[in-house]
Amino acid sequence: MSWVVRLATSAALALILTGCGRSAGPAQHAGQLTVGFAQVGSESGWRSAETRMAQDAAKQRGVILKVADGQQRQENEIKAIRSFIAQRVDAIFLAPVVSTGWDEVLGEAREAKIPVILLDRPIETKDAGLYLSAVAADNTLEGRVAGEWLVGRLGGKACPVVELQGTVGSTLVANRKKGFQEAIAKAANIRIVRTQSGEFTRAKGKEVMEGFIKAIGGANICAVYAHNDDMMLGAIQAMKEAGLKPGKDILTVSIDGVPDIFQAMAAGEANATVELAPDMGARALDVLAAYRKTGQAPKFVQTPSRLFLPDTAAAEYARRKGLY
Ligand code: AHR
């Protein structure tokens, strides 16, 4: 069962909210809401935008947002959550770097009656009452949108694909792969010939792509599927340095929708991106506000996964560069 389905089936439970009672609020900021945000890190343009937009949204709503940068390590995020509990914040936002190993610390938050809202990545737990709500995309759908675009674009042409995966240990990554594979399953002409993690960073994406080109030759790669735009931007650089024309010799499809990928699309060096909404913090603050008012919250707030192509790239770049 996918996490979306699991969440949907437990939606009724969410309304009862057995474990997530309202907090008494932090002693040090009477009258003003304080939220602790355990953030993954700053590995990508999308991630930095998510943090900044959450800070802006909090400011607009008069909420004190304390952001802890987990630097890609679960133990740092756990430490941050414990510190937020000790500070008696009103709520905790968690963008979990990996999917498992959260039960104990989220149990402590529940014990302290501090509601937790998950942002952008799912967790694996048997106890859905450990968190109030999750604001995220359907990651399988993101992969499927990317794969369907490639199938349509190729129209039957044989195509060996290399895949740049995100951080290992995250269900988001497994689902982005799964959705893509589902989409290409019926297209016998498309097959994934190499898969490696580029850890969601531009530098690692470049390094991994250089390795792919060296191992199998640029002429034997027809398309790159990257789990985020930053890795794709690194891969584009690697293609150029190898004398290849990204977007022409090798097709590209990635996820996020950061300004730089639109710039690359406008320059003809990238072909497609699937947007991941960066304003998860604002959406989570709205869920929290409604919960504090009504005692109810949706278990899953799904953000859209829209495909963008070069035809709108210049306009999208202009629109986004100030926002990110
Ligand atoms: O969890 C969302 C992913 O994390 C984004 O797609 C990626 O850019 C980020 O690092």
Question: Contact at 8 Å (CB) between 5 and 140?
Answer: no
> What single string gives the DSSP state of each residue in 246-289?
BTTTBEEEEEE--HHHHHHHHTTS--EEEE--S-HHHHHHHHHH
Q: What's the pLDDT score for residue 31?
A: 79
C-alpha 235/C-alpha 44 separation (Å) is 14
Q: Considering only 2-6, 146-150, 259-263, which range has the smallest mean pLDDT?
A: 2-6
Q: What does DSSP assign to residue 2? A: -
Please choose, from the candidates 54, 117, 47, 53, the residue with its C-alpha nearest in 3D space to the C-alpha of residue 81.
Answer: 117
Ligand 1 atom showing the smallest separation from residue 41 Cα: 10
pLDDT at residue 13 in the model: 36
Distance between Cα 252 and ligand 1 center (Å): 17
Q: Do 190 and 159 form a contact (C-beta atoms < 8 A)? A: yes
Cα 32 to averaged position of ligand 1 atoms, centre (Å): 30
Across the strands, what pairs with 275? 256
DSSP for 99-152, written as a single string: SSS-HHHHHHHHHTT--EEEESS----S-GGG-SEEEEE-HHHHHHHHHHHHHH
Ligand 1 centroid to Cα of residue 25, in Å, is 31
pLDDT of 157? 92
What is the secondary structure of 190-223 as a DSSP string? Answer: EEEEEEEE-TT-HHHHHHHHHHHHHHH-GGG--E
CA of 38 relative to ligand 1 center, distance in Å: 15
In sequence order, the β-bridge partners of residue 35 are: 65, 91
Q: Is the pLDDT of residue 162 over 70?
A: yes
Quickly name the fold that domain 139-276+309-320 has. Answer: Rossmann fold (3.40.50)
Cα 210-211-216 angle, rounded to 5 deg: 105
Would you list the domain boundaries of the chain? 3-136+278-302, 139-276+309-320
pLDDT at residue 248 in the model: 98
Classify domain 3-136+278-302 by CATH number: 3.40.50.2300
pLDDT value, residue 30? 64
- Out of 39, 43, 44, 94, give the residue to mutate to test ligand 1, the one with the largest number of ligand atoms within 8 Å of its CB: 44
Q: Rounded to the nearest whole angstrom, what is the distance from the C-alpha of residue 2 to the centroid of ligand 1?
A: 19
> For 199-253, how does the pLDDT look when each residue is reduced to its tens digit (9 = 90+)?
999 999 999 999 999 999 999 999 999 999 999 999 999 999 999 999 999 999 9
**Residue whose CA is at the smallest distance from ligand 1 atom 6:** 228
Q: Which ligand 1 atom minimizes the distance to the CA of 227?
A: 6
Question: Distance between CA 271 and CA 261 in Å, rounded?
Answer: 9
Q: Give the number of the atom of ligand 1 that is nearest the alpha carbon of residue 276.
A: 6
Best mutation site among 3, 39, 40 for ligand 1, i.e. most ligand atoms within 8 A of its Cβ? 40
| CA–centroid distance for 275 within its chain | 10
Tell me the per-residue pLDDT of 13-68, one tens digit each, with 9 for 90 and over: 333 333 333 444 444 456 799 999 999 999 999 999 999 999 999 999 999 999 99
Ligand 1 centre from 314 Cα, in Å?
A: 23
User: Do the domains 139-276+309-320 and 3-136+278-302 match in fold?
Assistant: yes
Taking the centre of ligand 1 as the mean of its atom positions, its distance from the CA of residue 115, in whole angstroms, is 23
Residue 38, H or E segment: strand 34-39
Rounded to the nearest angstrom, the distance between the alpha carbon of 279 and the centre of ligand 1 is 13
Predicted confidence at residue 256, as pLDDT, reads: 98
Dist. CA 79–CA 75, nearest whole Å: 6
- Tell me which of 39, 46, 93, 176 to substitute to probe ligand 1's pocket, judged by most ligand atoms within 8 Å of the beta carbon: 46
Residue 265 near residue 300, CB atoms below 8 Å: no
* Model confidence pLDDT, tens digit, residues 92-138: 999 999 999 999 999 999 999 999 999 999 999 999 999 999 999 99
Which residues have any ligand 1 atom within 6 Å of their CB? 43-44, 46-47, 120-121, 172, 200, 228, 230, 255-256, 276
Which mutation among 170, 172, 229 tests ligand 1's pocket best, with the greatest number of atoms within 8 A of CB? 172
Q: Please give the pLDDT value at position 29.
A: 57
Ligand 1 mutation target, pool 200, 201, 258, 305, most atoms within 8 A of CB: 200
Q: Ligand 1, closest atom to CA 230? A: 8
Neighbouring CB atoms inside 10 A of 2's CB total 16
pLDDT digits (tens, 9 = 90+) for 287-303: 999 999 999 999 999 99
